Amino acid sequence: MRTRIPLTSAATALTLTLAACGNSTAAGNSADPASGTLSIGFISQAPRNDSGFTQYGLAGVNAAIAAQKNLKLSSIVDNVSNSQEQIKGLQTLAAGNAIVVANGASLNKAVQVVAPKFPKVRFILVAAHTESFADNVTSVDAAVGYDAIVVGAVASALSRSKKLGMIAGLQVPASASWYYGMVQGAGLDTSGAKVTQTYTGDYNDVGKAKQAAEAMIATGVDSILSDLDSGSQGVYQASDAATSAVDVYQVFGLDCKAGKNIVGSGVVSWSAILQDAVTDAAAGKLPAGAISYGLAKGAVKFEFCPGKATPAAQELADKVTKQLISNEITPATDVLLPKPPYAYAQR
């Protein structure tokens, strides 16, 4: 699994009204006039304890709360997969919170529908953009394509078959960025490495992920990027059981103990991104529009597992990272998430 981040920190001292999956308990007033406390609602497309994207985001919200005594997490709605559940959950949260964090790309349409009905609520949409500008919505994302370019370059250099693979859950823009970034990174040398992609339809289904990885390995793929949550266990299992070495690369976090063939990770600090966004929102300093977090701020960074980086591979990773930051390497059009046709900032 990816590194598990505790869902609570100093923020556990706060009283939380945690809803059951797919439901939410009313949050009450969004602000306490006497104390100046602002309440936060959190909604996600996956379970709150998914060991990945959702858990990292929630950890960032808790970190912002722990650093500021005027914030409280009042309610959570998780595991909402269809549009009706998402709209209902957002409406429930918006009715009782000053800030609502919509954690997941599939929530973008629901936010577009609900946000105009609650103009005094600040919505933070994670990993996606709304179709049109709203002055109470801020979209935040990680420029994962930068990480993917470094992964592609390293995987290509270390690959023996020059056949690379990427396995993801859904065909969302962020997963496309991982794929096209790997393609660009692999193309930085003249090895002729090729990258294939597979979508399982589920970020947490271990069986589907294992089958997808086994199918790739059967075609000669010896390096796989797993853009999955708990489903990554299936990729590790397939890699560990392979008759020849199959390198695995993670995303978001780095958990080198999860499998014997894990080389490294295109680390994305969603917790840092959410902490920054929530802190600014609480202070009234979060601009409406879209914000992308990249290499320069350390929101994304490639990291090797101990002992897995040859001197040449580490030198290559450092070189490509520096070239991306200095714009010596320009990401291809498909590598970065599409920019919305409204206010946009790169951090």
Q: Residue 60's domain is classified under what CATH number?
A: 3.40.50.2300
Instruction: Report the predicted TM-score, pTM, of the whole model to 2 decimal places.
Output: 0.73
Structural domain of 58: 10-143+270-294
Closest CA to 248 of 146, 157, 166, 149: 166
CA 282 to chain centre: 22
Residue 345 lies in a domain: no
Are residues 306 and 211 part of one domain? yes
Q: What is the pLDDT of residue 30?
A: 64
* Beta-strand runs (E) in 278-321: 289-293, 300-304
Are residues 108 and 52 part of one domain? yes
Q: What is the pLDDT of residue 1?
A: 35
Are residues 313 and 229 part of one domain? yes
Are residues 170 and 75 part of one domain? no
Q: What is the pLDDT of residue 247?
A: 98
Q: What is the pLDDT of residue 253?
A: 86
Are residues 114 and 39 part of one domain? yes
Are residues 307 and 176 part of one domain? yes
Residue 342 lies in a domain: no
As a whole number of angstroms, the distance between CA 232 and CA 251 comes to: 10
Are residues 129 and 14 part of one domain? yes
Are residues 180 and 44 part of one domain? no
As a whole number of angstroms, the distance between CA 248 and CA 232 comes to: 10
Are residues 312 and 211 part of one domain? yes
Are residues 195 and 215 part of one domain? yes
Contact between residue 106 and residue 174 where contact means Cβ atoms under 8 Å apart: no
Contact between residue 107 and residue 124 where contact means Cβ atoms under 8 Å apart: no
Residue 177 lies in a domain: yes
Q: What is the pLDDT of residue 15?
A: 30
Are residues 110 and 14 part of one domain? yes
Residue type, 183: V
Element of type H or E holding 94: helix 83-94
Q: What is the pLDDT of residue 9?
A: 30
Are residues 159 and 135 part of one domain? no
Residue 166 lies in a domain: yes
pLDDT in tens, the chain (347 residues): 333 333 333 232 223 333 333 444 333 446 655 457 999 999 999 899 887 789 989 999 999 999 998 999 999 999 998 999 999 999 999 999 999 999 998 999 999 999 999 999 999 999 989 999 999 999 999 999 999 999 999 999 999 999 999 999 999 888 999 999 999 999 998 889 999 999 999 998 999 999 999 999 999 999 999 999 889 999 999 999 999 999 999 998 899 999 999 999 999 899 999 999 999 999 999 999 999 998 877 789 999 999 999 999 999 999 999 999 999 999 998 998 888 999 999 88
Contact between residue 137 and residue 111 where contact means Cβ atoms under 8 Å apart: yes
As a whole number of angstroms, the distance between CA 248 and CA 264 comes to: 7
Residue 92 lies in a domain: yes
Residue 111 lies in a domain: yes
As for how many domains the chain has, the answer is 2
